[in-house]
Amino acid sequence: MYRIVDKKVLNPTVVQLQIEAPLVANKARPGQFIILRVDENGERIPLTIAGADRENGTVKIIFQIVGSTTEKLSHKEAGDYIQDFVGPLGVATHLDGLKKVCIVGGGVGCAIAMPIAEALHEMGAEVTSIIGFRNKDLLILEDEFKACSDTLRIMTDDGSYGEHGNVTVPLKEMLEAGKQFDMIITIGPLIMMKFVVAAAKPFGTPVTVSMNPVMIDGTGMCGGCRLTLNVDGKKVTKFACVDGPDFNGYEVDFDEAMSRGRMYFDFERHAHEETCNLFKKEVQ
């Protein structure tokens, strides 16, 4: 069992937890993920690590409430325990040698992008951050991004905060104005990452994307997280858990990944509704 030492509600759908897991905290690097189970018989879900405190032996996770498991997790409080917590898994984001980087985060993906931006900032790299949200209420981590970014552009879909539009607007604008980046690192919804890649393509700027497909074990055993890369015209199957989660954005077959991501859509919607109903009953 793993103790929750701190909980913070970042917005109505996004929650931050600090979990006591010294072995994981000791090894965690930006871009890696953990797998957790909330309770006995619970499903295993992967969540990217949003930070780690080696001294206190805690790992920070930030998640959006999207299904039954994240719903249950969101009802846990500081002092409560979760059943299982394992990691750090996957390959850390390659940051060596990067001097000018554009971080493009969308929604809860910003939580994962933030430690990468921090690490780059500490390395002395010039960090440009573009973070996007549906609206003002869903904005998270503004201060954190301000602290580690040389330039910060905040975008909302409805214009209720920052600039109106999606994250590709300022990205295109900067690239067209001749701004050079060694790398664009983008983390967020698949459709957003697909369009970031498309926006960068005419300029040939390298793009790293962070994939978060369905997983069970997270150690390469099940193959559920497989995705297809197009490498020099050849299709190659890779496992996000051991080969990723970061991939060269130009090689990823996003359409396939989006389709696979919806495999259990009906099941998950139904399970989430049932879980919500249970919590509602408890409240009554």
Closest CB 93 distance from other proteins, rounded Å: 16
Q: How far is the CB of 129 from other proteins (least distance, A)?
A: 29
Please tell me whether the peptide bond between 206 and the residue prior to it is cis, using omega within 30 degrees of 0: no
Out of 3, 5, 43, 136, which residue is the one contacting other proteins (CB under 8 A)? 43
Q: Is 226 in the site for other proteins (CB under 8 A)?
A: yes
37 near other proteins, judged by CB under 8 A: yes
Q: Does 86 bind other proteins (CB under 8 A)?
A: yes
List all residues 6 or more positions away from 241 whose beta carbon is below 8 Å from its beta carbon.
46, 89, 90, 215, 217, 218, 219, 220, 225
Shorter beta-carbon distance to other proteins: residue 23 or 78: 23
Count the site residues for other proteins by CB under 8 A: 44
At closest approach, how far in Å is the CB of 213 from other proteins? 11
CB nearer to other proteins: pick between 123 and 242: 242
Nearer to other proteins, 24 or 112 (CB): 24
Q: Is residue 195 within 8 Å of residue 170, measured between CB atoms?
A: no
Antiparallel, parallel or unpaired: β 100-106 and 226-231: unpaired
What is the pairing mode between strands 163-164 and 151-156? parallel
Stretch that binds other proteins, among 97-105, 176-184, 198-206, 253-261 (CB under 8 A): 253-261
Report the distance separating Cα 125 and Cα 111, nearest Å: 19
Cα of first residue to Cα of last residue in the chain, in angstroms, is 29
Task: Single out the residue of 30, 87, 106, 188 in contact with other proteins (rule: CB under 8 A).
Answer: 87
Rounded-to-integer distance, Cα 86 and Cα 84, Å: 7
Nearest to 168 by CA among 181, 153, 182: 153
189 binds other proteins (CB under 8 A): no
| Residues of the shown chain interacting with other proteins in the complex, contacts defined by CB under 8 A | 23-24, 27, 37, 41-44, 68-69, 83-89, 216-217, 219-224, 226-228, 237, 239, 242, 253, 256, 259-260, 262-268, 271, 274
